[in-house]
Amino acid sequence: MAAAAAVSADAKLEKLRAETTKLDQISENEKAGFISLVSRYLSGEAEQIEWSKIQTPTDEVVVPYDTLASPPEDLEETKKLLDKLVVLKLNGGLGTTMGCTGPKSVIEVRNGFTFLDLIVIQIESLNKKYGCSVPLLLMNSFNTHDDTQKIVEKYSNSNIEIHTFNQSQYPRIVTEDFLPLPSKGKTGKDGWYPPGHGDVFPSLSNSGKLDILLAQGKEYVFVANSDNLGAIVDIKILNHLINNQNEYCMEVTPKTLADVKGGTLISYEGRVQLLEIAQVPDEHVNEFKSIEKFKIFNTNNLWVNLKAIKRLVEAEALKMEIIPNPKEVDGVKVLQLETAAGAAIRFFDKAIGINVPRSRFLPVKATSDLLLVQSDLYTLVDGFVIRNPARTNPANPSIELGPEFKKVSNFLARFKSIPSIVELDSLKVSGDVWFGSGITLKGKVAITAKSGVKLEIPDGAVLENKDVNGPEDL
């Protein structure tokens, strides 16, 4: 039986390879990378995690942030450190979940600034303060490339070198006959997909950017999602990695109940490894979600040595766990295979985690997150989003907004101004609710408009520990 399955897997792969060679929209590198990924998937090489072998990492493996040595106070020494650094933002995502059409990084976050504006301002202030030249790299996907090229032009006079490159473009696989979707006439964007951010390492190399950076004397790349406003350059972390020659560092932060599905770091057979919920046997999923046993999760802020990336990419050694992602395109069931950059940790020497403060993880995935960062909970200083010290609770308020608020345009229309939420614990809004200006929310607030009824919260209202179901409750 196993022999027959192997034959059919080989036959599938050969047919797929033959059709892929005919696709002229992608490079030979992309074709080779795609076939290699599919071949690994079909061979079923995924190792099962043996639950009993999982160990909690020690403080040597996941270093507490507050034990890191202070960086040098001397400006010249700091400049030397920063001149070894490159910042790379993962910019392949579209803002579709928030109702936007272009790259997510151009959504306005605060005071008229987009994610990308803030990133550029931050690096500019760093370069100005220390007289260094930290470049910014944007890894786009074919979905965001054209728009990003146009947007980047507006920074042409800024004190910052900006490079863009594309991650790979792979054909979606038709589930039924295991052939590439574009070879069946789907040659538009729907036929293709970007294979996850694990592709950052080969793409950096294939684009030629890796060799350029190494030639400039760069040593480390700080990789982060473009929508994580907390992912700013940290000299203390950079200093630690250079002094200890760590080839890879993943920033982790303590889990809250909102993060129970996030990947965590474990020690496994003598190496540090990322454990994702998809790898967990069913009978251990609840244990994985427990914040008592697995206390930290991956923020996807990664620091990686550039020479190590070159060594491992050239040796084709980065065989990260494959994430199968089934989709449907115009009624056709397709499969896309992806990898995650965090899973590469186990291939690097002296890899560590650093348990960082929660402030370094401030992603904007939905309009509820946008409400937080646009409110008085934060202020903007030199492009950095800084938390208001008047907020005594270290956790952010939990915010649930109904579908009426899902799109950014609808969200902005429903608030005359963003309420004050410094003393808010939780907010739940459902139905056709509209907010006036100068509103203050405190404690636990739930606002529910009855079906077919428009509920307006008047200007200047103060709601504290209140359930509002109609005008009579205001």
Which residue numbers belong to the known binding site? 104, 167, 196-197, 227, 365
Cα–Cα distance between 313 and 306 in angstroms, integer? 11
Cα–Cα distance between 283 and 263 in angstroms, integer? 17
Cα–Cα distance between 233 and 241 in angstroms, integer? 13
CB within 8 Å of 311: residues ≥ 6 apart = none
Cα–Cα distance between 346 and 275 in angstroms, integer? 11
Q: Output the known binding site for substrate.
A: 197
Task: Pull the structure tokens for residue 202.
Answer: 């080969």
Cβ atoms of 120 and 112 within 8 Å: the answer is no
Amino acid at position 20, single letter: T
- The conformation of residue 331, written as its DSSP 8-state character, comes to T
- The conformation of residue 142, written as its DSSP 8-state character, comes to T
Give the helix ranges, DSSP H, for 328-401.
367-374
- Judged by DSSP in three states, 45 sits in coil
Cα–Cα distance between 470 and 103 in angstroms, integer? 38
Cβ atoms of 100 and 233 within 8 Å: the answer is no
Cβ atoms of 299 and 360 within 8 Å: the answer is yes
The three-point CA angle 7-12-14 to 5° equals: 95
Cα–Cα distance between 289 and 279 in angstroms, integer? 13
Cα–Cα distance between 183 and 145 in angstroms, integer? 23
- Judged by DSSP in three states, 159 sits in coil
Residue 355: how many CB atoms within 10 A of its CB?
19
95 phi, psi to nearest 5 deg: -85, 30
Cα–Cα distance between 474 and 463 in angstroms, integer? 8
Stated as kind and residue range, the H or E segment containing 216 is none
Cα–Cα distance between 178 and 9 in angstroms, integer? 10
Stated as kind and residue range, the H or E segment containing 38 is helix 28-42
Of 433, 432, 435, the closest CA to residue 374 belongs to 435
Stated as kind and residue range, the H or E segment containing 389 is none
- Judged by DSSP in three states, 231 sits in coil
Q: Output the known binding site for UTP.
A: 104, 167, 196, 227, 365
